[in-house]
Chains A and B, each alone.
Chain A
Amino acid sequence: MKKTLCLIMAILLLIPVALSGCQNAENTDEQEQILVYLPSSSYLGEVIRKYNRYLVDNNYENRYKINVKLFDDVKENTSITKMVTEIMAGAGPDIIALETDIPFEKLMQQSIFADINEIIENDTSEEKLDLSVYNSAIMDSCVVDGKRLMIPLAFSLNVMSAPSDLCSEYNIPTDAKLSYSNAPEVLNDFLEKAKDSEDMTVFTDFKAQLLNLIDDYVDFGENKVYFDTPQFQSDFKQLCKLNIVNNSDNSKKNNSRGRYRDPYSFFSHFYGSSSSLFQPVFDSFFGFDVFSGSDSHELINGINKSESDIKATVKYAMAVNANSNKKQEVLEFIKYALSQHIQTDWMDGYMPVNNQSFGMKLYYSTLENNRFFGNDTDSSKSAEFIKKFLTLVDGVNVCNIPNSYYHNNIIGDIVDDFISGKISEQKFLNQLNSKTSIFVNE
């Protein structure tokens, strides 16, 4: 009897010990490599694949190669929890991509990310990274307390375009400087007309505008929320006046085939149907044709808190894990991702931070416009449009790092519910204030 019990207990103790050796051990080659976790549809993943091929072609050592571990689509939250746990345990991936659904807005305040300036200073290679050749307004948006915590790769600009004929028809000045407080007044004629029309609306994406307003009143750096200030209350009410879709039958609007549908006929698949006055350009500029069809368009600075704000948003960026012992190897990838070739060809429709690449993309974009719309293109108009665009890019004075975790996980539900009319304005504002205050301060 005793022997049997002894045996059972021995087995009980041995099983966990024995099984602990059965974990999926990475081979030595993979352990040497730089590690990154990415969502399956990651854009950075494409750049990494190209980089890995480049390493093989140029006989780089294995330690420079990047081992990409894709998040499980079905269990993405579980994968993120695993990654977070690894980081907490003092390990984790070497590169943390902005595309990962973790609260970057909060993490920037902690020492989770390494100071990239320090990594650059410690670089002993011949080709040191010179950050002065990149867009400083965008690059410096990731500097917190003198530490460069992320490297942005591309950005977008909060600008909108509107058909020229609509601007003149509704007395909208082409050099309008819009803010939340003056927008309903500037767009008054259009709003009056749009109220009675099924085919007209101000924005293609009101949610983006609302999130833009919310971001303007949260200071993650100072842990402050300003939703209970009279200015926010007033700006919120003003912005809601522009959401004229909300005031009538949504289904009718969405199915409408009105006069202003698909003003950008060639690239309409980028934007979907549009019966709106403003087409946001901030998601993509270089895929955007300026003068499709016979209509010409005006470029107008987006609606911001202040009329003088010109706002940009970082699109692709990466941080280096402070726990990483492969920081110099990661720096090689950063150099590659910021190189002129990659910045010109691999930043999708977004604007590259590399100034030379930016110039080249702008040049190609102008050529494309002329090629596709040759006879109809008014070259002086085109030049004027591009010039205005460049003025706006040079004048960027606010650059945000996307608060996607905050937008999606903290306030996503209530914003959707408010826009679809499921919850009242008061309830929305209460919940917005409560959730954001907790998120920012805890």
Chain B
Amino acid sequence: MRMSVSAKNKLWGYLFILPSAVGIFIFYIIPFVMSLYYSLVTYGKFSGLNNYFELLGNSYFLLALKNTVVFTAIAIPLLLVTSFAIALFLNSFEKIASFFQSTLLIPMLIPTASVLFVWQIFLDEKGIINNILNALNLSQINFYDSGFSMVVIILIFVWKNCGFCVILFTAGLSNMPKSVIESAKLEGASSFKVVTKIIVPMMSPTTFFVFLMAIINSFKIFREIFLLFGDYPNENVYFLQNFINNNFYNLNYSQLSAASVILTIIIVAVLLVTFRIERKSNYLE
């Protein structure tokens, strides 16, 4: 039996994606289905949505959810705006751009533990910032045990991921047709209008990609929180990942699974909304 060319191509296509598909199936799909199962079971007995209701009545789950949402809602826009502004700035100075791009990438390359050690030198109760405040006769800031903890985590997140986002934005800016910007300037458009009316809309595919990467990286912030504050941080920086991680050690897998499923639903919902917005506002199409 001879196969047609298109059928052969299809077969090859499937063969090529097979290794990845097997990996995704074993390491993502099966565990997720198991989590779904465990979230509906309590002590080996089917309990329907009971675990979800209990979870939604757990004040510390809600606190973790609130903190995660607050962090994501502040840190990601801040990261996008900061890195876009830096990319725009570097785009105007092409000669120094590569040096700054490399420099901004350094926080991503250094191991997290080393980075946090440096941050601790600054933020500690007896660290550099508090020493300066003391010298100026100002009251100390308790970075580890107050609302400032969230600010610290947001700053670390932005500082760490800024370089990578700048590179993505710079690549997007360099691929933009220069003729559009030049004609707008010839017609008297101000720099602000060029940025807001031309560059930003045209950069939407890149922005969308950067946004996705930022969302993914925002869930990796647990490493920093864990290293700075431990398993049980203060209530201002108690995130969903802390809740899930601690429930793993407490062997409360019904609750852990239910929390994981809720987290997955939130992420998928955010991504779907983002995809929809991106499709509607893709100027390049």
Interface of A toward B, CB cutoff 8 Å: 2, 5-6, 9, 12-13, 84, 87-88, 102-103, 106-107, 110-112, 409-410, 413, 423, 427, 430-431, 434-435, 437-439, 441-442
Instruction: Flag if B246 contacts A442 (CB, 8 Å).
Output: yes
Instruction: Flag if A423 contacts B235 (CB, 8 Å).
Output: no
Nearest CB in chain A to that of B234: its residue = A434
Other A-B pairs, 10, CB within 8 Å; known A84-B248, A434-B232, A437-B235: A2-B12, A6-B15, A13-B18, A106-B251, A427-B145, A430-B234, A431-B145, A434-B145, A442-B243, A442-B247
Chain A proximity of B126: nearest CB distance (Å): 9
Instruction: Flag if A107 contacts B19 (CB, 8 Å).
Output: no
Could you list 5 examples of A-B contacts with CB < 8 Å?
Answer: A9-B19, A13-B19, A410-B231, A427-B142, A437-B235
Instruction: Flag if B22 contacts A409 (CB, 8 Å).
Output: no
Question: Complex: how many Å from CA A13 to CA B12?
Answer: 15
Instruction: Flag if B253 contacts A423 (CB, 8 Å).
Output: no
Instruction: Flag if A423 contacts B125 (CB, 8 Å).
Output: yes
Instruction: Flag if A84 contacts B232 (CB, 8 Å).
Output: no
The 3 closest A-B pairs by CB, nearest first: A111-B43, A435-B232, A442-B60
Chain B contact-residue range equals 20 to 34
Question: Complex: how many Å from CA A106 to CA B231?
Answer: 15
Instruction: Flag if A430 contacts B145 (CB, 8 Å).
Output: yes
Instruction: Flag if A103 contacts B61 (CB, 8 Å).
Output: no
Instruction: Flag if A9 contacts B252 (CB, 8 Å).
Output: no
Chain B proximity of A115: nearest CB distance (Å): 12
Let me know if B164 is at the binding interface, CB within 8 A: no
Chain B proximity of A373: nearest CB distance (Å): 48
Question: Complex: how many Å from CA A111 to CA B254?
Answer: 11
Question: Complex: how many Å from CA A6 to CA B248?
Answer: 41
Instruction: Flag if B250 contacts A107 (CB, 8 Å).
Output: yes
Q: Known interface pairs A110-B43, A438-B238. Does A9 touch B251 (Cβ–Cβ under 8 Å)?
A: no
Residue-wise, chain B 1-25 has the 8 Å CB interface mask toward A (1 for contact) of 0000000000010011011001000
Chain A proximity of B71: nearest CB distance (Å): 17
Chain B proximity of A214: nearest CB distance (Å): 14
Question: Complex: how many Å from CA A435 to CA B59?
Answer: 14
Q: Select which of B16, B235, B238, B251 is within 8 A of A87 by beta carbon.
A: B251
Let me know if B53 is at the binding interface, CB within 8 A: no
Q: Select which of B18, B59, B142, B242 is within 8 A of A9 by beta carbon.
A: B18
Q: What are the residues of chain A within 8 A of B77 when measuring CB–CB?
A: none
Interface set, chain B 223-269, CB cutoff 8 A to A:
230-232, 234-235, 238, 242-243, 246-253
Instruction: Flag if A441 contacts B234 (CB, 8 Å).
Output: no
Let me know if B139 is at the binding interface, CB within 8 A: no
Let me know if B58 is at the binding interface, CB within 8 A: yes
Q: What are the residues of chain A within 8 A of B243 when measuring CB–CB?
A: 442
Instruction: Flag if B251 contacts A438 (CB, 8 Å).
Output: no
Q: Which of A84, A112, A442 has the most CB of B within 10 A?
A: A442
Q: What are the residues of chain B within 8 A of A9 when measuring CB–CB?
A: 15-16, 18-19
Instruction: Flag if B58 contacts A84 (CB, 8 Å).
Output: no
Instruction: Flag if B145 contacts A88 (CB, 8 Å).
Output: no
Nearest CB in chain A to that of B34: its residue = A89
Question: Complex: how many Å from CA A403 to CA B131?
Answer: 38
Interface of B toward A, CB cutoff 8 Å: 12, 15-16, 18-19, 22, 43-44, 58-61, 64, 125, 142, 145, 230-232, 234-235, 238, 242-243, 246-253
Q: What are the residues of chain A within 8 A of B145 when measuring CB–CB?
A: 427, 430-431, 434
Question: Complex: how many Å from CA A442 to CA B239?
Answer: 12
Instruction: Flag if B251 contacts A112 (CB, 8 Å).
Output: yes
Nearest CB in chain B to that of A106: its residue = B250
Chain B proximity of A407: nearest CB distance (Å): 13
Chain A proximity of B153: nearest CB distance (Å): 16
Question: Complex: how many Å from CA A102 to CA B61?
Answer: 22
Q: Known interface pairs A410-B232, A431-B145, A442-B58. Does A84 touch B249 (Cβ–Cβ under 8 Å)?
A: yes
Question: Complex: how many Å from CA A110 to CA B252?
Answer: 7
Nearest CB in chain A to that of B236: its residue = A434
Q: What are the residues of chain B within 8 A of A442 when measuring CB–CB?
A: 58, 60-61, 64, 243, 246-247, 250
Question: Complex: how many Å from CA A315 to CA B196?
Answer: 69
Q: What are the residues of chain B within 8 A of A13 when measuring CB–CB?
A: 18-19, 22
Question: Complex: how many Å from CA A439 to CA B246?
Answer: 8
Q: What are the residues of chain B within 8 A of A110 when measuring CB–CB?
A: 43, 250-252
Chain A proximity of B21: nearest CB distance (Å): 11
Chain A proximity of B139: nearest CB distance (Å): 13
Question: Complex: how many Å from CA A2 to CA B11?
Answer: 12
Nearest CB in chain A to that of B43: its residue = A111
Q: What are the residues of chain A within 8 A of B15 when measuring CB–CB?
A: 5-6, 9
Question: Complex: how many Å from CA A60 to CA B29?
Answer: 46
Nearest CB in chain B to that of A323: its residue = B44
Question: Complex: how many Å from CA A159 to CA B171?
Answer: 72
Nearest CB in chain A to that of B247: its residue = A442
Instruction: Flag if A441 contacts B58 (CB, 8 Å).
Output: yes
Nearest CB in chain B to that of A405: its residue = B249
Question: Complex: how many Å from CA A103 to CA B245?
Answer: 13
Question: Complex: how many Å from CA A46 to CA B43?
Answer: 33
Q: What are the residues of chain B within 8 A of A2 when measuring CB–CB?
A: 12
Instruction: Flag if A438 contacts B22 (CB, 8 Å).
Output: no
Chain A proximity of B173: nearest CB distance (Å): 38
Nearest CB in chain B to that of A92: its residue = B251
Q: What are the residues of chain B within 8 A of A439 when measuring CB–CB?
A: 232, 246
Chain A proximity of B34: nearest CB distance (Å): 9
Instruction: Flag if A102 contacts B249 (CB, 8 Å).
Output: yes
Chain A proximity of B39: nearest CB distance (Å): 13
Q: What are the residues of chain B within 8 A of A435 when measuring CB–CB?
A: 232
Q: What are the residues of chain A within 8 A of B234 when measuring CB–CB?
A: 430-431, 434
Q: What are the residues of chain B within 8 A of A103 when measuring CB–CB?
A: 249-250
Question: Complex: how many Å from CA A437 to CA B246?
Answer: 13
Chain A proximity of B263: nearest CB distance (Å): 15
Q: What are the residues of chain B within 8 A of A102 when measuring CB–CB?
A: 249, 251
Chain A proximity of B77: nearest CB distance (Å): 28
Q: What are the residues of chain A within 8 A of B125 when measuring CB–CB?
A: 423, 427
Chain B proximity of A98: nearest CB distance (Å): 15
Chain B proximity of A173: nearest CB distance (Å): 42
Nearest CB in chain A to that of B230: its residue = A413
Chain A proximity of B48: nearest CB distance (Å): 18
Question: Complex: how many Å from CA A8 to CA B81?
Answer: 45
